[in-house]
Amino acid sequence: MSHLMNTYARQPVAFVRGEGVWLWDEAGKKYLDALAGIAVNTLGYGHPKLKKALLDRVNSGILHTSNLWRIPDQEKAADRVAEITGLDEVFFCNSGLEATEASIKVARKYGHDRGVAEPAIIVMEKAFHGRSLATLSATGSRKVQAGFEPLVQGFVRVPLNDLDAVRQVAEHNKNVVAVLVEPIQGEGGINVARMEYLRGLKEICERKEWLFISDEVQCGLGRTGKWFVYQHAGFQPDVVALAKGLASGVPVGACVVGGRAKGVFKPGNHGSTFGGNPLAMIAVVTTIDTIKDEGLLANAARVGTLIQESLRDQFDTTLAEIRGMGLMIGVELGQPCGELVRQALEAGLVINVTADNVVRLLPPLVMSEAEGRMVVERLAPLVRAFVERATPATAAAR
Ligand SMILES: Cc1ncc(COP(=O)(O)O)c(C=O)c1O
């Protein structure tokens, strides 16, 4: 019997080797990876530049010093993150929840600095921000919250893509100091915020002097064809939360601030023992440099469009709704479809199902067009068979 705490319903497969977008299990079976460890393995597996950078770091003998000292690679990583976000100050941590938790703290401190004693943050239905007490309270899922009450106070929830709901809160709630939004909800089922909605939200933030916080832990770092989704909408947020793909497999997170949020945190306001450690930092620098050197933003846009279009060609919108941007893709089916994960593994394809009925694809950004076509070739027959089993009459009529 395993001594692991029972927090995950795991598939009975262990991947032991990887190269590019390919994985091998213990029995030597080969899989095409369309999930990247849930949007983490940006550069795929065994990328020579990342391997070399990490080996050099290990060979230097130093994996950790402390934030009590200067960490040159942390300074380099912060320069890179500031450049791609267009923001000013970077706090490095180790995970997505830490990045969003830090963002929530920045918003509260910003409120207190302006004399708001009980600052509130607008959050979205179906959002996911993490599993610490504050971030699960900000999360719009009862499943994530149940059993952990009392929740952290100070969040006001509205539906995504509904500007009027935000306007109403703006009119009646004087405690609001920030809006926290995932521009593409990942765990919630690949729900894409409309660009005009994001711009409208930003306008309200400007008018009310609220912070605009973009949680790009899952959708950021090049996956949509630009570094960040707010760049598609054409404005700068005040705070961005990052993690997952930022170091291509090495645990890292970042809370990045600019605009009204610049300078809110002072020495002593926040900290992390491991945050910004030399091992993670060289992985951040190498990941960002490699995305640039290898043109992976354009690649994500190209291969993502190819996958989305070929799925749309194959499925009528009444059977499967294809949503997403670039290499962040959801296929919503009419019924809970968790069984597709196991069926895909049998067919040599790694996928995930989220929000019960959405097949989620988050491939490494190094996926080629030929590999993108193979994802569709392996996935489409499984989805077709599932839909036919689930709704024989509707499917037969197509
Ligand atoms: C948008 C978003 N924010 C925050 C998190 C939390 O990240 P972590 O699991 O690294 O704590 C996730 C994880 O899925 C996420 O998708």
Alpha carbon distances (Å) from 342 to 27, 373, 385? 16, 20, 14
Atom number, ligand 1, closest to the C-alpha of residue 253: 10
Atom number, ligand 1, closest to the C-alpha of residue 186: 16
The HSE-up count of residue 95 (CA atoms within 13 Å, CB side) is 9
CA of 42 to the centre of ligand 1 (A): 15
Average pLDDT in the chain? 97
Decide if 2 contacts 333 (C-beta within 8 A): no
3-state DSSP assignment of residue 321: strand
Task: Please say if the pLDDT value at position 393 is more than 80.
Answer: no
Pocket of ligand 1 (CB under 6 A): 95-97, 100, 128-130, 182, 186-187, 215, 217-218, 243
Residue burial 92-108, b: 16+ Cβ < 10 Å; e: rest:
bbbbbbbbbbbbbbbbb
Q: pTM for the whole thing?
A: 0.97
The HSE-up count of residue 181 (CA atoms within 13 Å, CB side) is 32
Please give the pLDDT value at position 1: 72
pLDDT in tens, 184-195: 999 999 999 999
For residues 65-80, give the mean pLDDT. 98
Q: Which of 7, 8, 100, 136 to mutate to test the pocket of ligand 1 (most atoms within 8 A of CB)?
A: 100
CA of 341 to the centre of ligand 1 (A): 21
CA of 134 to the centre of ligand 1 (A): 13
* Burial class, 292, CB count within 10 angstroms (exposed 0-12 / middle 13-18 / buried 19+): middle
